[in-house]
A and B are shown apart, each in its own frame.
Chain A
Amino acid sequence: MNRINRENQLFQLILARIKETIREPGVIFWGMIFPMLMSLGLGIAFMNKTDIFRRVGVIIHNQDTISTGDSTHVLQSFLQHQTEKINNPKDRFPAYKFTIRDEKLGNSIFLFQEMRWDEAMVLLKRGNMSIVLNEQKGQIGYHFDPLNPDAQLSYLKLSGVFGKKGNPVAENRTNIQPLTVRGTRYIDFLIPGLIAMGVMMSTMWGISYDIIEKRSKKLLRRMVATPMKKYNFLFALMTVRLVMNFLEAALLFIFSAIVFGISIQGNIGALFLIFMAGSIAFTGIATFISSHTSKTEIGNGFINAVVMPMMVLSGVFFSYHNFPDWTIPFIQPLPATILADGLRSIFIEGAGFAEITVPSLILITTGVVFFTAGLKIFKWH
């Protein structure tokens, strides 16, 4: 009988926690919808090949006209014969449009505009265009900042056009093979990162904030002034968070599988293991940082202090190998890094238990150590 009653207490705590969680619209939005929107936004931003539009200043030394059709002037004859003249009464510079077609990389559209040198310099300084062309003795001169990658790209494309003697080429005929193999796209890198971030954010906010808020409302001390078992309270909190984490991750995965065709290449059991281990690690950390304070403002600070550095460093959005080499040994042991790396190795490299067991054990140990330390100093009153 006693045993059934105890379960009843735990059952009610879990039930209350579920209701409390799902009745907060923010939980659904930030935990479930926001990661999907993020994957959609980032996935599309890095996948779509869009037309690139560039302005190019053209300095005509012979100020009177280009309409004389002097064929020795490469630039002038190019503008006259190869481009489409655009009549825009608002723009005081005569403009000519030229498009390099490229199905795979996206079209590059160049808008050539005739202007004087000083006018060109003003536009360059304003960032309205990045490259200026002129012609001296049949040679085309390119003027741009060599440190500006955009200007460099314009230069490469334009020199390809003008480099060829005779007719400038308006089509890219080189053999480019874009990497669209599953597992090599940016979205394949991103989704496991977003799942790791979700586990971190949801657990830290879900557990820490809840404990601190209940303490500040004096509800925690009211609850422990009953025969409620403290471990039941914590267990309910963690169980509900774990289930929510799982639902959030599953939803994001299903969404990205439908929209982007993401698939899991490694072992599902191993994936579950590292996911649980990550949740345990952050549950421990969350309990630790919420063990003492009863001020939600201080709690916010603690949570951000944990979450922010890992958001930036742990390779959620971009590989942490972009950071200087000396920082890598400090980044790799961070729980979010271990979790994101582990998830990625299963998602895209096809890893299994062999690769995941050690990182999982490290995460679980981290969680247990922080949890135990947190309980030691935990303030119920």
Chain B
Amino acid sequence: MQETAVIEVKGVHKSFKTVHAVKGISLRIPKGQFVALLGPNGAGKTTLVEMIEGIQKPDEGEILILGKHWKSNEEELHRILGISLQETRYIDKLTVAETLQLFASFFNLYRDRVDSIIDLIGLEEKRKSYVVNLSGGQRQRLAIGIALLNNPKILLLDEPTTGLDPNARREIWVILMKLKEQSETTMILTTHYMEEAEQLCDYIIIIDQGEILKEGNMEQLLNSDQEKKIVEFTIESNSFSREITETGSPFQIQWDPARKKGIVEIHHIDKELPALFEYLGQRNLQLKNLEFRKRTLDDLFTSLTGRHLHE
């Protein structure tokens, strides 16, 4: 029997003036799951999340949250949802504590909840600082704090770490991992950082151009071609030849001209590796370095679309 879905999206479409942003996406997200919507900028992630948040209406299809439609259930759904929108800027001249207190009042919550959130997001020292004086990472932590005020059953975070430095990003991951341990909250997070999806989420949905390309947990996504290995190699910079990516070669080599790096997927090390050496040698390409590494979500995305997640 299938687990009851907390969020159910059925055949949803959404178009804007010139863009068909979401093209028939369906999802079922069970309780307590942390889900990543992974895709490059403009993939349709924000549009999809905003439809789930009730901010946008789908042109077609339906969205059910705990079995309820947005229409005529707004008040109730607002109470169980915690959201953080992309690029929200809070009131400059209110302090951290005052901002939280304001949002707490919308949920009829009192000061003790504000205090425990400030503790959770690690802004104790900044509780009396104006929002305008916070760093990017602190603002984002405040935004997540606001999203968590009402102990939401469903947390929707739209690119919570975009534009943050690695440390600030990690601080946000820590908050979310703590939440995962301590509560039964279901979370959808949009991101174009594969590490974020890998670190935080049980289930990853790869989206591009308004469609789901692939979904599953990390193992399902990466081990579906378990025998495939990734070989990355560099060659002496002046010996690069176009031949390396010529059609008809026995290897499908992706060439990254910026990093002067070639990537090739091979199935059988013992047979294919000597063949690769021979192939390069025949073309007088001098190998400088070569390494095997695990397949990543970016490799998967590239193999599906021919582009990188960050392009």
Question: Which residues of A approach B to under 8 Å, CB–CB?
Answer: 5, 8-9, 11-13, 15-16, 19-20, 23-24, 217-219, 221-223, 225-228, 381
Contact = CB atoms under 8 A, between A and B. Distances in A.
Nearest to B56: A381
A212 to B, nearest CB: 14
Interface string B77-102: 01101010111111101100010011
Given A218-B85, A226-B103, A8 B108 contact: yes
A11 B105 CA distance: 9
B112 interface: no
Contacts of B89: 217-219
Contacts of B56: 381
B93 A8 contact: no
B106 A9 contact: yes
Nearest to A216: B89
Contacts of A19: 93-94, 98
Contact of A12 (B55, B81, B102): B102
Contacts of B85: 218, 221-222, 225
Given A23-B93, A24-B93, A225 B98 contact: no
B107 interface: yes
Contacts of A221: 55, 85, 88
Interface of B: 53-56, 75, 78-79, 81, 83, 85-91, 93-94, 98, 101-108, 130, 146, 150
Contacts of B102: 12-13, 15-16
Given A9-B106, A9-B108, A228-B106, A20 B81 contact: no
Nearest to A22: B93
A240 to B, nearest CB: 13
B288 to A, nearest CB: 48
Contacts of A217: 88-90
Contact of B106 (A20, A218, A227, A381): A227
Nearest first, the 3 closest Cβ-Cβ pairs linking A and B are A12-B105, A217-B89, A23-B93
A232 B91 CA distance: 17
Contact of A225 (B54, B86, B104, B130): B54
**Residue of A217, A227, A228 with most chain B CB atoms under a 10 A cut-off:** A227
A226 B106 contact: yes
B101 A227 contact: no
A219 B88 contact: yes
A293 to B, nearest CB: 17
Given A16-B102, A218-B85, A227 B75 contact: yes
B108 to A, nearest CB: 4
A225 B82 CA distance: 9
Contacts of B108: 5, 8-9
B107 A20 contact: no
Contacts of B83: 222, 225
Contact of B90 (A11, A219, A227): A219
11 contacts: A12-B101, A12-B104, A15-B102, A20-B91, A218-B86, A218-B88, A222-B83, A225-B83, A225-B85, A227-B75, A227-B107
A119 B79 CA distance: 87
Given A218-B89, A221-B55, A225-B55, A8 B105 contact: yes
Contacts of B90: 217, 219
A228 B75 CA distance: 9
A20 B94 contact: yes
Contact of B107 (A11, A15, A218, A226): A226
**Residue of A5, A9, A16, A381 with most chain B CB atoms under a 10 A cut-off:** A16
A227 B88 contact: no
Contact of B91 (A5, A11, A219): A219
B94 A16 contact: yes
Given A13-B105, A16-B98, A19-B93, 15 more contacts: A12-B104, A15-B102, A20-B91, A20-B93, A23-B130, A217-B88, A218-B85, A218-B89, A221-B88, A226-B107, A226-B150, A227-B75, A227-B79, A227-B106, A227-B107
Nearest to A11: B105
Given A11-B105, A222-B88, A227 B94 contact: no
A11 to B, nearest CB: 7
A225 B107 contact: no
Contacts of B88: 217-219, 221-222
Contacts of A226: 78, 103, 106-107, 150
Nearest to A233: B106
A358 B136 CA distance: 54
Contacts of B86: 218
Contacts of A11: 105
B93 A9 contact: no
Nearest to A9: B105
B87 A218 contact: yes
A381 B55 contact: yes
